[in-house]
Amino acid sequence: MKKLQQLVFSAGLLAAAGAHAQLKIEISGVSANQIPVAIAAFGDEGVAPAKISEIIKADLELSGVFKVIDAGGPISETDPVSYSQWKQRGADALVVGSVQKLADGRLEVRYKLYDTVKGGQLSTLSNATTPRYTRTAAHRIADDVYEKLTGTRGAFATRIAYVKENRAARDYRLLVADADGESIQEAVISKDPIISPSWSPDGSKVAYVSFELRKPVIYVQDLVTGGRRVIVNEKGSNSAPSWSPDGSSLTVALSKDGHTQVYSVGADGSGLRRLSNSNGIDTEPQYSADGQTIYFTSDRSGGPQIYKMSASGGNAQRVTFNGSYNISPRVSSDGKTLAWVSQRDGGYSLYAMNLASGQEIRLADSATEPSFSPNGKYIMYATKAGGRTSLAVVSVDGRVKQRLSTPAGNIREPNWGPFMK
């Protein structure tokens, strides 16, 4: 009970680093069958502030799904292509393109993807963007390559949110960055702890918990306007916000009536309604992708376990049965996989379960605060090693692992944002 109360009131406090330090990504492990892809330098890409082809290479390599082959010199999308030549070099696909600076200062980015095995064009894109969004344009191309070659939508153009404590300035910072850790932006700066960031489905807002009023209160920060508002400030603890898939409401954990229970509230803070009803602590609610089910943590059986109930409330069903301490449920976008943290063998480990079969897989040790990528293929989490806390990513099959860290300090509380329009 004491551990679960600590989870409700203070889970997620971190210690850490300078706000503007970029994340460094290290990768280990690869997919069982990597797809060999040749990526050529884009024609005239030097006019852009960053090389498009290098960003695409980095994205595809970090996924662990592709074996990237350096194509050497630049190849434009208008240049002739010898399929047999690239096939002999071991490439199943070829990425080419060009960048042109327009009269209004924008950049025209063009790209083509070729299938060298079947000898044909798989995809083509053309997009005009400002220099500021060069990286986004490159991420979108990498997403297209990923989708055309795997059948699954890529998530390179998405963003992540996480929290960092700046010890030098003695403040806490809610940061937003590209999925590769670049282009970091400060969303919130506070002298008091910030925990539990949660993206709205359209990617325009982040809900979070702040202790600036000397108690946990739930806010929503608008990333477009910079404005924010209090969503829930009831008596006691207000914690664990999570958006509904349609963005109309949030689930939250409140102790206003005694023990912490699960409630729903409108995105504007209206219509607060209690959903769970137990004599224990019910917390960490999360909607399923279809919005019909809420998964949450409860100690009603004597120790913290994962349960599920209808989004309208009512009777709950227990989901986890292995291990005596299971917390932090997260459900993949396709509704097929549950990820959570389990305390076993003296430590906290990240597990995933096939909800249809009930089969479990242990994905990572020393893990807390999991968050699925929007395509459901990867899970980001916080991990501690060598006295430092950093972020890490693991594929749902456990084969590909990444570690994201800053040059100094600790970061945690990751939340992977949605697909952007």
pLDDT at 408: 59
Sequential DSSP letters for 165-187: EETTTTEEEEEEEETTS-S-EEE
pLDDT at 32: 66
- State the virtual CA torsion across 258, 259, 261, 263 in degrees, nearest 10: 20
pLDDT at 1: 40
Indicate if the pLDDT at residue 386 is higher than 90: no
What are the tens digits of pLDDT across the range 122-139?
999 999 999 999 999 999
**Domain ranges for the chain:** 2-23+156-416, 34-150
Cα 359 from Cα 244, distance rounded (Å) = 27
The architecture that CATH gives domain 34-150 is 3-Layer(aba) Sandwich (3.40)
The stretch 392-403 carries a mean pLDDT of 92
pLDDT band at 420 (very low <50, low <70, confident <90, very high): confident
pLDDT band at 404 (very low <50, low <70, confident <90, very high): confident
| CATH number assigned to the domain with residue range 2-23+156-416, chosen from the 4 options 3.20.20.370, 3.30.565.10, 3.40.367.20, 2.120.10.30 | 2.120.10.30
The stretch 183-197 carries a mean pLDDT of 94
Q: At what angle do helices 134-150 and 52-63 cross, to 10 degrees?
A: 40
Cα 92 from Cα 94, distance rounded (Å) = 7
pLDDT at 165: 80
Contact 34, 324 (CB under 8 A): no
Indicate if the pLDDT at residue 11 is higher than 50: no
The overall average pLDDT reported for the chain is 91
The stretch 289-312 carries a mean pLDDT of 96
pLDDT at 19: 37
Contact 1, 31 (CB under 8 A): no
Cα 313 from Cα 275, distance rounded (Å) = 4
pLDDT at 169: 73
What are the tens digits of pLDDT across the range 307-335?
999 999 999 999 999 999 999 999 999 99
What are the tens digits of pLDDT across the range 146-175?
999 999 999 999 999 999 887 777 889 999
